Structure 1
Amino acid sequence: MLGRKASRCVAVLNKTAARSSLGLKTAKRMLSSSNWKLLSSKSVNFNSVKTAKFTAGINGAVGLLCVGVGGYSLYNKIEQQGNWFSEWSNSNIIKLDSFQKNFSSTSKAQEKDSQSQSINILAEEAIERKLHSNEYSYSVDREKSEIQRFDVSQLPSNDPIEDSHVEQILTNNGNDVWFYGVFDGHGGPYTSSKLSTDVIPYIARYLAPIFNKPEYSQQDVNNSFQKAFVELDNDIVLNGFKDLFDSPSRETLLEKTLPAISGSCCLLTMYDTKKSMLTISITGDSRAILVSKDHNSDGHGKSTNNWTVQALTKDQTAEVPEEIERIRKEHPEDESRTCIFNGRILGSLQPSRAFGDYRYKIDNVDGKKFSELPPEVKMFLRRSPRYLKTPPYVTAAPVVTSHKIDPSKDKFMVIASDGLYEFLNNDEIASLVVDWYSRQTSDNKDKFGNNGTIVVKDLDSLNPGLKHDSRFKTGLPSINKDENCSTHIIRNALSCGGQKEYVDTFVSIPSPMSRKYRDDLTVTVVFFGDSKDPITTTSSPSPSSFAAGDGVTLNEKASTPVSKAKL
């Protein structure tokens, strides 16, 4: 028999459990209804959703749900707010198992904390300003170029943005050699910024003697990329820390060593107009795709008018079987369980190849340990990973491939940081490009077959570890208001199928909070073609337009550049 006090405690506990169960059942019942509505308020509270999670790439909009702690209060909040977004099924919005066990009402302390984390949806003008502030578009009119135009756009999530990019023309005996690169930084912008200024000069030094030959092989070109990437990373990491040990001060660290401390993926493409050859060099998990026009016949003399998309890169992360096998072979057998676990290198870093990231590559410099550095310098360094035994575990050595471009059918190349692919897969991006292209060339619809369908040509390179938001489907309406194709892709990636409210929300979330819901976004679209293609420009540039070299002119109508591009 229980004592009186013990019995009273049991009764209280049973009553509390019953209330919690009722709250949970109420929440489940309300969320399973297809008629529940999201907030109509323009103020978004993020604290009240700390017990709810969004699925896949739409994580950011979890803040908009403003889920109450209790099941009944959740129902009341939903009923009071009206309809902001379109209705969604509960399977796309909330995982119920993430709710706290205690479904009591929100305390005053919680309410005060909620108010401190509330944000406002930006005004329309401010949203458009953020979407366009880091975009530009160039028309190309250069003899034998085979590149008509390129569009670039960025939307930061980190402050400052950790992504960088480069567009550069080199000339080779009268022939153009085009470079387009996207550098997805992590742990700071320093490595990606370093790549944007140094990676092409390093490659050019290896390419110069090759290009001076009457004939050269593609393998020689590929080897040049391999050597340049490795040499540049050695200079960043080893020389960066040698300088720091030689002169251990904050000034040296800031000027020489920061690119070794942070890290960056690197996707660099080179188009050689002499051979119409595209070289793709990838270190990390950014991606390149090629969108082409299929001129095949249906067997009855009629063109199929299909578009195809082909992946040009394969992700290099600790979730890709080939990378897992490679890294484990490079280390002793007793490290097979620790060099990669939880889908990350040493349980921490997701990309298996990257520039910088010294912590995964070295544990000393010429026998000198990092612990020997003075405190005012060590404070900027992170602790070595727990299972670091036989570095390096991460390499900057790229995978280099090539693709022969046929400008009559190969129309677009899209390169982007992995933040884009968290929302869209390859065929969805291709659909958006073709949709944009159809509007630009409406008078040529029959000629270019713009009503064709998207057919995925290469599925093998889609990374199974990177889950994108599958709610954006081919055929759903897109938002068509951008003259810049890259901005068009970013806007619609955030729209979850043409819904403006989602765009407004994702753009409005301030840094650093936004990093919980989306990454930095950098997208470059390159247009291949000849003089017969009608996509040279969207406007007639004025004489005052920034001329980035002979025959390369800013499309003012399609651009709102913050600064002049380096070309």
Structure 2
Amino acid sequence: MNNSCKSVSKLRNSWRNHNLCKFFEKSLLKDKTLNYVILHRHNSQAICVHKNRGKLFSKKYCFGRKLSNFHHGPEYGRHSFMAEEEITDEAATKILREHEMSMVMKEDFDSKNLNPVVGFDSNILPSNSPLEDRRAQAKFHHNTDLGMLFGVFDGHGGHQCANAVCDRLFMYLALALLPHKDLSVTLRDLDSGKPWPALLEWYQHSKLPPGKSLRPHQVQRLRRFMEKRLSGEIVISNIEDAMHHVCIELDSDILNDAQKQTVYKMLKHARPDLAAIDCAMSGAVACFAHISQDIITVANIGDCRAVLGSRDMVKKDRWIATPLSRKHNAMNEEEKQRIYSEHPEFERGNIIKNERLLGSLAPFRAFGNARFKWPAKTINEIAFLSTDSDDDIGVGGDYRIPDQSNWVLPFYRSPPYLTAKPDIIQHEIQPNDAFLVLATDGLWETMHKHYVIQLIGEQIDRMEGKTDMNNADISASDILDTDSAFFGFEDTNAATNIIRHCIGQTFDGSSRRQVRSMLNLPQRESRFYRDDITVTVVKFNPLG
């Protein structure tokens, strides 16, 4: 935590209402169960008066992420900002590395189609409980010419939709890229009772929950997708078409599976599938990449990001960051204009409020989130599905159903307001392109893309012994005027290294203590300081 301090008296003098500040201080000293009060929040900073051994101290804290989504003003807390017992550096490293994985790829492409991917590093650092981020890595099982797939997925309002997208999206994409002849054979095999074919070889971390096996209705959805391709209803001529169609189809299937549950309400003794409703009512954003031969194709829905890292051919120790995705939120003016153009003029003042869709949702594109897509009548029908269910179940599984009147958002007049249509960017790999970073917004809201790319580039150079960074013309510390090497590069996994730097940032540099503090936060409070962070770094074979 930042040690930039003010005395309590100076802090009090900087406030308009001196008596109010005195009241807060007296409350802290009087109530032995209280340990701090946050007097002011701004972005990722907070002025906090906290108590330690009966005395008051004032500090400016950095929480590692913007706090603009949370309320401003006084907030009391019962945990201590100055923990009596801090975790050790070894314990912090163990936490950071719990979900990391690294893979070196075999040369399984033929000589004409060299595998552009030499390996990848990936890691997840949870903050939410349960974890809402997901990741997926796979290659095509029978046809290596089709390349490899990498994706990161960030759930919101629950983990269910992120689970579904992570488990099913690449299956749709594998079917989208199969030739018609193979599709016909696959359908015949399924009709004859053969098991679902192994289209993909997955790379899954053993400590994270494995993907669930396909349920019967999900298999039927995939069969229907194959039939649409064979009938010509869906025409796919390239990878961009495939990515576009699979995102739209999967989102439609998720919503239809939930909407179908209204039928069960009319059937006696029938019970709706609450898991399907969970999936549709929660949401997920995604950023995934298809890499084949020398082409990278990135599809993005929401505010996850993909950034390419390339070596500067003039200054060999400098790295260039090239975005391969566009964020779909209020920071993207084109995205705002797209939304305005799809709805009546009289709604313009209410569609985007406080930089959120209908004042509620930060990403402007996402899977699921049925409350932003269905007609109001359908939303109400789904809301009433749980009225005959047991009290401890309710719609959503993880929460009880709210008042039905709250399910339809204010100013909800011309749905759908949200889409799962992806933005797609294609890039031809150049000799100086070294790696691709896919990450959820837990990373990007805290670290600048140039800083991330420079850090990974420096790590690659050090591990390969190509340069002495003490004599380099530029380093990551030069980009943001911080000490980038406060840990050195003790993590061989590039994703873990980036996450360590991400949570270790403070206003006056970075520190091991900040890492220990961020990892030592109670689970119930961690989400107020940072989001789940998922990072995958895909490394390329040198070309040329």
Q: What's the TM-score once normalised by structure 1's chain length? A: 0.69
SS of residue in 2 equivalent to 1:243: helix
The reply on whether 1:184 has 2:154 as its aligned counterpart is yes
The reply on whether 1:67 has 2:49 as its aligned counterpart is yes
> Which residue number corresponds to residue 401 of structure 2?
380
TM-superposition CA deviations, 1:480-524 (whole Å, max 9, x none): 211211000000111113311111111111222111110000000
> Which residue number corresponds to residue 126 of structure 2?
156
Alpha-carbon deviation of 1:168? 0.3
> Which residue number corresponds to residue 535 of structure 1?
none
Give the aligned residue type for 1:281.
Answer: A
> Which residue number corresponds to residue 78 of structure 2?
114
Determine the C-alpha separation between the residues in 2 that align with 1:24 and 1:277: 59
> Which residue number corresponds to residue 486 of structure 1?
495
Does structure 2 retain, via aligned residues, the 8 Å contact 1:264–1:355?
yes
TM-superposition CA deviations, 1:50-74 (whole Å, max 9, x none): 3232543xx5xx5xx75149xxx99
Match 1:132 to one of 97, 103, 120:
97
Determine the C-alpha separation between the residues in 2 that align with 1:218 and 1:404: 21
SS of residue in 2 equivalent to 1:504: helix
> Which residue number corresponds to residue 264 of structure 1?
284
> Which residue number corresponds to residue 295 of structure 2?
277
> Which residue number corresponds to residue 417 of structure 1?
440
> Which residue number corresponds to residue 51 of structure 1?
39
Change (3 A) 1:430 1:368: closer
Determine the C-alpha separation between the residues in 2 that align with 1:225 and 1:154: 25
Does structure 2 retain, via aligned residues, the 8 Å contact 1:416–1:522?
yes
Give the aligned residue type for 2:385.
Answer: L
Alpha-carbon deviation of 1:114? 2.9
Change (3 A) 1:243 1:266: same
> Which residue number corresponds to residue 190 of structure 2?
none
CA RMSD of aligned residues (A): 4.1
Determine the C-alpha separation between the residues in 2 that align with 1:129 and 1:512: 20
> Which residue number corresponds to residue 511 of structure 1?
523
Alpha-carbon deviation of 1:366? 7.0
Change (3 A) 1:334 1:177: same
Map 1:29-428 onto structure 2 (within 5 A).
48-53=36-41, 55-56=43-44, 59=45, 62=46, 67-68=49-50, 77-78=56-57, 114=78, 121-143=86-108, 144-170=114-140, 173-209=143-179, 220-246=238-264, 252-273=272-293, 276-296=294-314, 305-363=317-375, 369-375=381-387, 376=389, 377=394, 379-380=400-401, 383-406=407-430, 408-428=431-451
Alpha-carbon deviation of 1:256? 2.0
Give the aligned residue type for 2:296.
Answer: L
Alpha-carbon deviation of 1:243? 2.9
Does structure 2 retain, via aligned residues, the 8 Å contact 1:192–1:264?
yes
Does structure 2 retain, via aligned residues, the 8 Å contact 1:151–1:525?
yes
Determine the C-alpha separation between the residues in 2 that align with 1:94 and 1:519: 11
Determine the C-alpha separation between the residues in 1 that align with 2:401 and 2:118: 45
Alpha-carbon deviation of 1:473? 3.7
Aligned identity (percent) is 27
Aligned residues: 441
Determine the C-alpha separation between the residues in 1 that align with 2:67 and 2:134: 34
Alpha-carbon deviation of 1:208? 1.4
TM-superposition CA deviations, 1:269-311 (whole Å, max 9, x none): 00012xx111100000001101111224xxxxxx655321101
Give the aligned residue type for 1:138.
Answer: M
Does structure 2 retain, via aligned residues, the 8 Å contact 1:410–1:529?
no
Determine the C-alpha separation between the residues in 1 that align with 2:265 and 2:237: 41
Determine the C-alpha separation between the residues in 2 that align with 1:487 and 1:278: 24
Alpha-carbon deviation of 1:171? 5.0
Give the aligned residue type for 1:164.
Answer: R
Determine the C-alpha separation between the residues in 2 that align with 1:121 and 1:210: 60
Determine the C-alpha separation between the residues in 1 that align with 2:380 and 2:78: 49
Alpha-carbon deviation of 1:162? 0.2
Alpha-carbon deviation of 1:177? 1.1
Alpha-carbon deviation of 1:48? 1.3
SS of residue in 1 equivalent to 2:538: strand
TM-superposition CA deviations, 1:405-446 (whole Å, max 9, x none): 12x31101111000101210110101210121122111x338
Does structure 2 retain, via aligned residues, the 8 Å contact 1:46–1:117?
no
> Which residue number corresponds to residue 526 of structure 1?
538
TM-superposition CA deviations, 1:378-400 (whole Å, max 9, x none): 54366221111111101111011
TM-superposition CA deviations, 1:112-157 (whole Å, max 9, x none): x636998653344432221111111111122421211100111100
Alpha-carbon deviation of 1:254? 3.5
Q: Which runs of 5 or more structure 1 residues have no equivalent in the other structure?
A: 1-19, 29-44, 80-84, 101-105, 297-302, 456-469, 533-567
Change (3 A) 1:492 1:361: same
> Which residue number corresponds to residue 229 of structure 2?
none
Change (3 A) 1:449 1:362: farther
Does structure 2 retain, via aligned residues, the 8 Å contact 1:244–1:256?
no
Change (3 A) 1:531 1:138: farther
Determine the C-alpha separation between the residues in 2 that align with 1:124 and 1:476: 17
Determine the C-alpha separation between the residues in 2 that align with 1:93 and 1:426: 16
Determine the C-alpha separation between the residues in 1 that align with 2:445 and 2:340: 27
Does structure 2 retain, via aligned residues, the 8 Å contact 1:307–1:453?
no
State which structure, 1 or 2, has the greater radius of gyration over its C-alpha atoms.
1
Does structure 1 retain, via aligned residues, the 8 Å contact 2:139–2:147?
yes
Give the aligned residue type for 2:285.
Answer: C
TM-superposition CA deviations, 1:10-34 (whole Å, max 9, x none): xxxxxxxxxx999721789xxxxxx
Determine the C-alpha separation between the residues in 2 that align with 1:66 and 1:486: 32
Give the aligned residue type for 2:427.
Answer: H
Determine the C-alpha separation between the residues in 2 that align with 1:362 and 1:93: 31
Does structure 1 retain, via aligned residues, the 8 Å contact 2:483–2:510?
no
Change (3 A) 1:498 1:404: same
Give the aligned residue type for 2:78.
Answer: S
Q: Which runs of 5 or more structure 2 residues have no equivalent in the other structure?
A: 1-7, 17-32, 109-113, 183-234
SS of residue in 1 equivalent to 2:135: strand
Does structure 1 retain, via aligned residues, the 8 Å contact 2:115–2:292?
no
SS of residue in 2 equivalent to 1:160: coil
Give the aligned residue type for 1:403.
Answer: H
Does structure 2 retain, via aligned residues, the 8 Å contact 1:414–1:524?
yes
Determine the C-alpha separation between the residues in 1 that align with 2:291 and 2:482: 30
SS of residue in 2 equivalent to 1:231: helix
Give the aligned residue type for 1:383.
Answer: W
Determine the C-alpha separation between the residues in 1 that align with 2:313 and 2:180: 35
TM-superposition CA deviations, 1:307-350 (whole Å, max 9, x none): 21101111001342111111111111111111111100000001
